[in-house]
Amino acid sequence: MICERDGKIWREDDKELLCIEPWGPDAVRVRATQCRGFNDEDLSALLPPAPSESSVTERDGNWVLENGRIRAILLSNGRIVYENERGEVILEEYQRIRKLAQFGKETMKEFKSSLKILPRAFRPVYGTDNYRLEARFEPQEGEKIFGMGQYQQPYLDVKGCTLELAHRNSQASVPFALSSRGYGFLWNNPAIGTVTFGKNMTVWTAETTKQLDYWVCAGDTPAQIVERYADATGHAPMMPEFGLGFWQCKLRYQTQEELLGVAREYHRRGIPLDVIVIDYFHWPHAGDWCLDPTYWPDPKAMVEELESMGIKLMVSVWPTVDLDSPNYPEMAERRMLVRTEAGRRGGILMGACLIDPTNPDTRSYVWDKIKQGYYDAGIRLFWLDEAEPEFSEYDFWNYRYWRGTDLEVGNVYPVDYARMVYDGQRAEGQEGIVNLLRCAWAGSQRYGVLTWSGDVDSSFRALRSQLRAGLNMGLSGIPWWTTDIGGFQGGDVRDETFRELLLRWFEWATFLPVMRLHGYREPVKAPLSDHGGGKQNSGADNEIWSYTPEMYEVFKAHIELRERLRPYTRSLMAEAHEKGTPVIRPLFYQYPEDAHAWDVDDEYLFGPDVLVAPILEEGAREREVYLPAGSWRCALDGSVVEGPATVTAQAPVEAIPVFVRAGALEGVL
């Protein structure tokens, strides 16, 4: 039976209940289940939809929902086809059956196949009311797929890739796909799974779930699609002023006096510094959520001195609780910790258990501890590390949260973790909330999440992957993104190759949403003691004066450039807040009519006016740069090039190729 109720299409057919409904302008939401009804538990990334003008009609046994630029056609055999406003098929479910379906005077041709492959396949997980779900879609010739979050691979276009729908250290699964065929697709399901954008079909898989849930929108340009997606899942707040400059970090400052010494030196040298960071293991025990007074004796005075120099303090927070922490017994008793199906308590990492922020009691409890330990001392910025979370082993089948098994709900963890602190800050009346997380899922952006790309290694290979990861994160609705300048691990300050890498990474980071220096540099420094906040070692010095005088001058010049760009960067952040526009974006985002722009994956736009071509190969002192239509001024020598054109740009060790739209940013860049 198929019918229209409340502006939605409903279909009941033996096992399956299906609903197609308008969900904001130019978009539809599709849900299907073989349970008795839809699961109303709040696991959706979608916000309540904005009003839209839509209609439902029935034609010769087929049902059509029209909503702005999109048309969803439910054929009589249960398959769904999506068209744009011009009647062009942009996406269609996969099916190999015998039956033909008629649509008006046209024939929606189905393959006469004996395969009996359905587009929505529910395989029961025996003994439960869950299913292993597969949703299949037809391939589209020449289609390119972008977005999907952050994966450690050198591909911007993920067509042809199989991606794990799961979080890991340096991997953030944000299951929103932007298609070159004019649609955006959100897999609105936090279950562990995979997606394959294959040549023969696209297959989305959830290992265990109660229902299929996805959202599709249509748009004439990538910008229209990303803006609709931001409206559907939430907008990032407005980035506050301290997010526009330079951030200093390392693993790790061991004492209050060491950190203040670094801040004072930046101030003495007249080098602008917006944020300085206290990294992990500054606590007596993991799960105490406070600074060890032996090494950090007066946090309030520290914050006040930093503020007097115009510097904000960020403190690392981990979702771990040591068995020796005084908070452990109560949290275990009140079911606030991740559990395991077998073996030791869930997520043992460095001898500590993981909190379960999917439990609202956990969020309230931990925020209260954070407030007492940090917030009341004046600290307003938090580095919410381990946000995937990082299990000792990524055995997703073995962990259980308050909201369900890891296999069923695991990808929502970083959202609830961010929400835990964001809601606490908002309750205190704080505005301009920015918290640094190592992971994100769809909708994370609305909780003030600045995602960084995790503990990547210090190599040109990693640098190449970070460029594509950052661009795809922006297209996935996460406009605030950053990376550890120089990579996190394996960088030896004495190594010439690493020094070159660090220069190139620093130059590139000048044109990222947030410019943040971090890393675990070698040779490492010994711990200060065998207990509390002194028992963890530290990396080598990682300030801009810690290297050669020549490198210092390059670093200093780029920090000063970042300062000159501040009004421009502020405008980009306003656009990200208001429209969901990525701060960094592929060329095709700005030039969708340029076919070649869709193939360029090693350069990008920092806002509409600045084209950045990072140096991604060791020893390179020049590279080819594609310039789209228009007049482009070379920032290095002032020459003007008319695009579209491919030029060989010079790249001395002190600068990467940057081109500015003629007439823009005069006197700045």
Q: Which residues are catalytic?
A: 385, 388, 455
Q: Strand pairing partners for 84? A: 70
How would you list the strands of the sheet with 610-612, edge to edge?
Answer: 584-585, 604-606, 610-612, 658-661, 622-634, 640-650
Cis peptide before 644 (omega within 30 of 0): yes
Calpha distance 577→568 (Å, rounded) = 14
Report in angstroms the alpha-carbon separations of 353 from 259, 373, 393. 29, 20, 13
What is the SS3 assignment for 209?
strand
Token pair in block for residue 556: 């200093």
CB 616 within 8 A of CB 624: no
Token pair 């086809």: residue: 81
Calpha distance 527→383 (Å, rounded) = 22
Residue 221 neighbours by CB under 8 Å, 6+ apart: 592
Calpha distance 664→69 (Å, rounded) = 34
Calpha distance 406→168 (Å, rounded) = 13
Token pair 């040779």: residue: 523
Calpha distance 494→593 (Å, rounded) = 47
What number of other Cβ atoms are within 10 A of residue 300's Cβ?
Answer: 11
CB 350 within 8 A of CB 320: yes
Q: Strand pairing partners for 404? A: 401
Name the E strands within 188-338: 193-197, 202-209, 211-218, 246-248, 275-278, 312-317, 320-322
What are the backbone angles phi and psi of residue 365, rounded to the nearest 5°?
-65, -50
How would you list the strands of the sheet with 211-218, edge to edge?
Answer: 2-5, 8-13, 16-22, 27-33, 211-218, 183-187, 172-179, 145-150
Residue 495 neighbours by CB under 8 Å, 6+ apart: none
Would you list the DSSP string of 552-597?
HHHHHHHHHHHHHTHHHHHHHHHHHHHH---SEE-HHHH-TT-GGG
By DSSP bridging, strand 435-437 and strand 404-405 are unpaired
CB 573 within 8 A of CB 617: no
Calpha distance 170→394 (Å, rounded) = 13
By DSSP bridging, strand 131-137 and strand 202-209 are antiparallel
381 membership: H or E segment, kind and range: strand 381-384
Token pair in block for residue 645: 């054109």
